[in-house]
Structure 1
Amino acid sequence: MSLFLSSVSVEQPVSAVYAFLADMNNQGQLMPDNIINWSSTADEASFEIQNITSLSLRIEERVTNTSVRILPSQQPPFEMELFWSLIGNGSSTAVTFTINAQLNMMMKMLASAPLQKLADEETRRLSAILAAK
């Protein structure tokens, strides 16, 4: 299993950060520019990674003000899990986004940099979006 982590501190209470992340409709705002054809409900989303593949994701587990676990709802190119972990500290929240991916050696060489970039981009955008609220 390959892990790709990105952490950020958000100047919002944990309840506000959790409410944003627990709704898949908001997750589309965190995606990089190469994500197209985003379609979502509160629990599921489908989209295309431009010129690569299509994915469907669903929220598998929500733990109020603590975490959001997201899994593929259809067979992905490789097994993966997306996990948001939250730790509240008064008016701010420490957020860690983890991508767990089952990658063979060839896929690891090809996908490691884009997956780390995705993790970093999502936390950067989360911080920017919630800072504006």
Structure 2
Amino acid sequence: MNLESNKISVKKSQKELFEFLTKLENYEQLMPENIQKFEVDGESFIFGLKGMPEIRLVLKEKVEFDKVILGAASSKLPFTLTANIIESSEDTADAQMLFEGDFNPMMAMMIKSPLQKFIDTLSQNISKL
């Protein structure tokens, strides 16, 4: 299952946005309002939204200034969440969130809508930085 947010413009340079997204504690600012738990632990963080199970994301890969890839810590629900960062000018960048997961069709059908809403919220909150 592949989902993507709209591309959004951010009033930060590509480098500034990349550095912001590689600091895991900053993701708390991007979370939806209904967040109930957020804890950073080394190269990972765990978050919980009201009515959903807690999820641990691990910093999997950084491609300097272009991409930050987070992945699920659990192999039960394998997925990645990628932030693509594109320079649009010296002091602005475009960002897009991509979600890729390997789920059975029933699970995909149940989680597609909440996941799309989640990555759209992350994107919208990035645009407010």
TM-score by length of 2: 0.90
Partner residue, 1:86: 85
Could you list the runs of 5+ residues in structure 2 that have no partner in the other structure? Answer: none
Runs of 4+ in 1 over 6 A off after TM superposition: none
Partner of 1:121: 121
Q: Secondary structure at the match of 1:81?
A: strand
Q: Deviations over 1:47-99 (max 9, x none)?
A: 223232121111011111111011122345x2110001111122211111101
Count matched residues: 127
Shift in Å, 1:112: 0.8
Which sections of structure 1, spanning at least 5 residues, go unmatched?
A: none
Residue 41 of structure 1 deviates from its aligned partner by: 4.3
AA in 1 matched with 2:83: W
User: What do you get for the CA RMSD once the two structures are aligned?
Assistant: 1.5
Identity in percent: 24
d(CA) in 2 for partners of 1:74 and 1:44? 12
1:33-44 equivalences in 2 (<5 Å): 33-41=33-41, 43-44=43-44
- Work out the CA distance in 2 between the residues paired with 1:83 and 1:57: 11
